[in-house]
């Protein structure tokens, strides 16, 4: 059976995907320039032997090849356990692999995202019982291991294994099972994917480390030999010495302890030492009593999503969940219809109807989970979960985060969070508020987002130049002066984890956000003050589950809360987090709600990611150029322009007025900003409003 055409799941970049969907682009850097490292691991009774040692070596191999593994060791270990269980594998082989993606196609690896995948399959043994008992035949290959100054020979890299591939083909052409490679000096190094041991008298001899990859199985066998009182000597071994050895065997994750019956005409019997270490190794790796087969889950949960966001549908499907999307017809997209298992068209805020429909899924073997990360869906999903007895934030908590006036009243009693505020309905109320609290005021809708309806006032306005106000009650707050940030986090059973702090860049003429940078450029004390403030706020409000996005102003007196939400931040902030850290917030959110493990400590940022929005002059578009040029500039991750010739560009009064953006990333904030600015400068949008 082809390895590309199998049933099952593969862990890819933080989530499980169907086996046949785990693909990479043909222009991936690792495919062209050997920028890939991997591990070979064995599971016995559902448990990987020395999993952490393999994970640590994977990280070290990546570092040796100039790559930073985008997940922590704990996340890789947890993913390995998860993917084995998801595929129902007890005894099998596990292949983690890390590679450079298709960001740039040049010899330099800079600018390429590092990806990771873990694929398991059932594989009881490499050789059949006869070969295991009789031993295998080796031949000395014409290919050699390189000098350590020519290549990092201790990295388990795909490039290094090219010599093994050639040597194995040469051996098979000679009628042998495997090849023995020499190092650059002409001494014995290893086999194509295993280490070699030779017994001379009462001692085992094996090539010294530094000329080849010293395996994890090799280390285990050396430990077992010591327990049995067998001395092990690590030294240079000339190929001429092979003829004087009494026994020979190979060690490796796939081979375990594999006897050798011949090397180019020198015959060996499977002696007592080899047989003893084969038995001791089997005792070490296999359960002492037969383990029951790893049961497949009774069934993944059904995830009902209020609001048809494709990104959440894809995350839930990748985790093996059945998906049910509730959405109003005018907001439903063909992509969501194609991706979801079931689609319910209508107003999900009709709670009686929605709960009645969800009742049809409540008996699913894996249970039912209901969630939403759209602003209109936050309160309905809390109310539905309360009715169905499903775990979620309380409706009072969500009401407090949705209704900004409720939150302000809750925070009034705490001087850390209190901000002068009041409800206003018209300009007379605003004038009265300014008279009491000063001219600098922010006026905004009590609910909603995207800066829609937000007005920043720095002075009193005469009736003739007053901006229009929305026709509903508004919240007026004293203006807080200072840079703005947002804190991205996730709560799991009441434990809040801050993933990072995002820096905001506002439009010079108003409160609309025209860019973000993750992570924010902050001193340690400032960052700690902001995150402590947000953690205290979330505890006070009572947030216990799901993603959080909290907006903060760092004033001269310290951080002050603007507002908080039980959802992720908009403006592609989750993308910036993933580019910077490799951590997928949306995947983590679905995992937390479905009971799957979530990383306790998200990985730290390895680079800075920036989004900047286009800001052309208002008017009718006459010319657009430079978009493709911008896409291929260094560090650019994404470019989007939502305009065509003849489109109308409006003054930016809310997020809905923005017409496109660029996303860039680099190793430091200055370089990331420069990449974003260069991309913006390359894009020319002329309107009839240009001076």
Catalytic residue IDs: 156
| Non-local CB neighbours of 522 within 8 Å, separated by 6+ positions | 485, 501, 503, 530
Bridge partners of residue 612, in order along the sequence: 515, 662
Chain-centre distance for alpha carbon 87: 21
Are the C-beta atoms of 294 and 89 separated by less than 8 Å? yes
Residue 379, H or E segment: helix 378-388
Helix axes 378-388, 395-402, angle to 10 degrees: 170
Are the C-beta atoms of 395 and 385 separated by less than 8 Å? no
Pairing of strands 247-252, 256-263: antiparallel
Exposure of 410 in the CB half-sphere (CA atoms within 13 A): 21
Are the C-beta atoms of 113 and 103 separated by less than 8 Å? yes
DSSP letter for 157, please: B
400-439 burial, b for 16+ CB within 10 Å, e for fewer? Answer: bbbebbbbbebbeeeeebebbbbebeeeebbeebbeebee
Are the C-beta atoms of 671 and 635 separated by less than 8 Å? yes
Tokens 């090397």 belong to which residue? 263
| Alpha-carbon span 336 to 314, nearest angstrom | 9
| Alpha-carbon span 264 to 458, nearest angstrom | 88
Report the chain's C-alpha Rg in angstroms. Answer: 31
Structure tokens at 134: 């009789």
| Alpha-carbon span 106 to 122, nearest angstrom | 37
């Amino acid at each position: 059976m082809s390895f590309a055409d199998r049933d099952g799941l593969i862990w890819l970049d933080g989530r499980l995907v169907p086996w046949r969907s785990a693909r990479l682009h043909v222009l991936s850097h690792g495919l062209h320039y050997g920028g890939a490292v991997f591990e070979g691991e064995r599971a016995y009774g559902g448990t990987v032997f020395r999993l952490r040692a393999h994970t640590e070596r994977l990280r070290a191999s990546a570092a040796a090849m100039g790559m930073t593994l985008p997940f922590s060791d704990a996340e890789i270990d947890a993913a390995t356990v998860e993917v084995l269980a998801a595929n129902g594998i007890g005894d099998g082989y596990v292949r983690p692999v890390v590679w450079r993606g298709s960001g740039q196609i040049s010899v330099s690896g800079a600018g390429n995202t590092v990806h990771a995948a873990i694929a398991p399959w059932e594989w009881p043994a490499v050789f059949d019982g006869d070969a295991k008992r009789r031993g295998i035949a080796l031949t000395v290959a014409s290919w050699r291991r390189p000098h350590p100054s020519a290549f990092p020979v201790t990295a388990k890299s795909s490039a290094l294994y090219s010599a093994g591939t050639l040597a194995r083909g040469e051996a098979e052409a000679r009628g042998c099972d495997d090849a023995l490679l020499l190092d650059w000096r002409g001494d014995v190094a290893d086999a194509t994917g295993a280490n070699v041991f030779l017994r001379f008298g009462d001692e085992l001899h094996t090539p010294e480390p530094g000329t080849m990859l010293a395996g994890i199985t090799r280390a285990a066998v050396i430990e077992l030999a010591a327990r049995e009182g067998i001395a092990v000597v690590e030294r240079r071994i000339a190929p001429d010495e092979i003829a004087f050895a009494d026994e020979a065997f190979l060690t490796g994750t796939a081979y375990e302890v594999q006897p050798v019956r011949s090397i180019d005409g020198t015959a060996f019997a499977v002696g007592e030492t080899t047989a003893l270490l084969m038995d001791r190794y089997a005792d070490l790796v296999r359960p002492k009593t037969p383990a029951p087969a790893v049961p497949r889950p009774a069934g993944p949960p059904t995830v009902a999503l209020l609001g048809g966001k494709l990104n959440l549908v894809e995350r839930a499907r990748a985790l093996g969940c059945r998906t049910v999307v509730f959405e109003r017809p005018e907001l439903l997209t063909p992509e969501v219809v194609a991706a979801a298992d079931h689609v319910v068209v209508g107003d999900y805020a009709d709670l009686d109807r929605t709960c009645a429909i969800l009742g049809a899924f409540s008996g699913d073997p894996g249970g039912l989970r209901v969630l939403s990360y759209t602003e209109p869906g936050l309160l309905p999903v809390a109310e539905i979960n309360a009715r169905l007895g499903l775990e979620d934030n309380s409706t009072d908590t969500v009401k407090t985060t949705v209704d900004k006036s409720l939150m302000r009243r809750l925070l009034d009693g705490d001087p850390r969070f209190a901000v002068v505020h009041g409800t206003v309905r018209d300009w007379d109320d605003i004038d009265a508020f300014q008279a009491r609290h000063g001219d600098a005021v922010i006026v905004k809708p009590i609910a909603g987002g995207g800066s829609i309806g937000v007005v920043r006032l720095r002075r009193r306005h005469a009736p003739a130049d007053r901006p229009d106000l929305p026709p509903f009650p508004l919240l007026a707050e004293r203006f807080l002066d200072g840079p703005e940030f947002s804190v991205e986090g996730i709560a799991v059973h009441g434990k809040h984890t801050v993933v990072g702090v995002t820096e905001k860049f506002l439009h010079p003429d108003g409160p609309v956000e025209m860019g973000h940078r993750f992570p924010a450029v902050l001193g340690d004390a400032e960052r700690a003050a902001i995150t402590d403030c947000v953690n205290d706020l979330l505890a006070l409000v009572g947030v216990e589950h799901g993603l959080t996005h909290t907006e903060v102003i760092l004033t001269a007196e310290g951080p002050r809360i603007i507002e908080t939400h039980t959802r992720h931040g908009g403006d592609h902030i989750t993308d910036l987090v993933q580019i910077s850290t490799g951590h997928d917030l949306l995947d983590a959110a679905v995992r937390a709600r479905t009971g799957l493990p979530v990383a306790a400590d998200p990985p730290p940022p390895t680079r800075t990611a920036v989004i900047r929005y286009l800001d052309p002059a208002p008017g009718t578009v006459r010319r657009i150029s430079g978009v493709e040029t911008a896409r291929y500039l260094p560090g650019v991750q994404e470019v989007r322009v939502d305009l065509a010739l003849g489109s109308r560009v409006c003054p930016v009064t809310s997020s809905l007025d923005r017409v496109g953006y660029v996303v860039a990333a680099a190793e430091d904030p200055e370089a990331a900003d420069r990449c974003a600015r260069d991309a913006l400068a390359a894009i020319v949008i002329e309107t009839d409003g240009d001076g």
